[in-house]
Amino acid sequence: MDLHFTKMHGCGNDYIYLDCRETGLPEQVGEWSKELSRRHFSVGADGIICICPPMLADADATMRMFNADGSEGKMCGNGVRCVAQYLYTHGVPRDTIEIDTRFAGRKTLRRKGEGIWQADMGCFSAMAEALPAVGLGPGPLDWVTLVAAGKNWDASCVSMGNPHCVIPWPERETLPTGPALAAIGPEFEHHPAFPEGVNTEFVFVENPTSLIMRVWERGSGETLACGTGACATVAAMALRGVCPRDVPVDVALLGGTLSITVRSDGEVLMTGPAQVAFTGTVQV
């Protein structure tokens, strides 16, 4: 069958978007995500995001995301901005859009400019039960030592509706990427402290309002950006007293820059771009 899709990205975090508002979630979407996400051999992406009918009547749609390995993810910050942009140009031309998610609750998106959206990402949590994490204490897990890849790591563990492990890094020039990140990323992703896996962010602090981050995402590996990871990283640094609250913090990723504000009440705002790369049809 022919599958019509829209390829979109937020700061290079790219997904294949399927408009499922009339058809519902395809049964084969996990297998499609594994097949179509293969770069050089298929469409190529970090996964598939389905735009489904709203779970509740006052929402505009529901976002369901599937990683490149076919597993269903809990949340995608760059993806939810792209869903808002898609809806804005496909029948929902409003500056405020409400998007349900299966695992991370309702997200409110506000249009800030052409292709720029601010997402209310909800409150972060550093408690073990929220991630979940085991063997690290009940939390808050803002200062923990994690043994992985043969060494001890200074870490902060934060949930943004999905689990994150934030690792401060001492030098900008040596932030891991490519083979260096692939050598250690899976050690965190499959660490026994995280029974559901974990996304791992390595961060260098330029100054309190400017961070540089690299990310290994569970189910997808290294990506050019991770919206929830940027949120979790600023939240972790705010818990440690490194970054201020109620002030935008720029997080530079391989694919672009996101602006993250952690409020005094724990709410997190994320602002960044959402762009269409191309549309197409593929046989599945």
Residue 29's alpha-carbon distances to 33, 47, 70, 118, 230, in angstroms, are: 6, 10, 8, 28, 27
Active site residue 52: no
Residue of 50, 82, 226, 243 with catalytic role? 226
Give the number of other Cβ atoms within 10 Å of residue 49's Cβ. Answer: 28
The number of CA neighbours under 13 Å toward the Cβ of 122 is 21
Asked if residue 71 lies in contact with residue 92, where contact means CB atoms within 8 angstroms, the answer is: no
Cis bond before residue 273 (omega within 30° of 0): no
The number of CA neighbours under 13 Å toward the Cβ of 44 is 7
What single-letter DSSP state applies at residue 78? Answer: H
Asked if residue 188 lies in contact with residue 221, where contact means CB atoms within 8 angstroms, the answer is: no
Who contacts 91 (Cβ-Cβ below 8 Å, separation ≥6)?
none
Residue of 50, 52, 76, 165 with catalytic role? 76
Give the 3-state secondary structure of residue 20: coil
Give the 3-state secondary structure of residue 135: coil
Asked if residue 47 lies in contact with residue 66, where contact means CB atoms within 8 angstroms, the answer is: yes
Measure the CA–CA gap between 198 and 100, rounded to whole angstroms: 22
Asked if residue 29 lies in contact with residue 16, where contact means CB atoms within 8 angstroms, the answer is: no
Say which amino acid occupies 171: E
Token reading at 182: 């692939």
Active site residue 76: yes
Measure the CA–CA gap between 9 and 16, rounded to whole angstroms: 9
Catalytically annotated residues: 76, 226
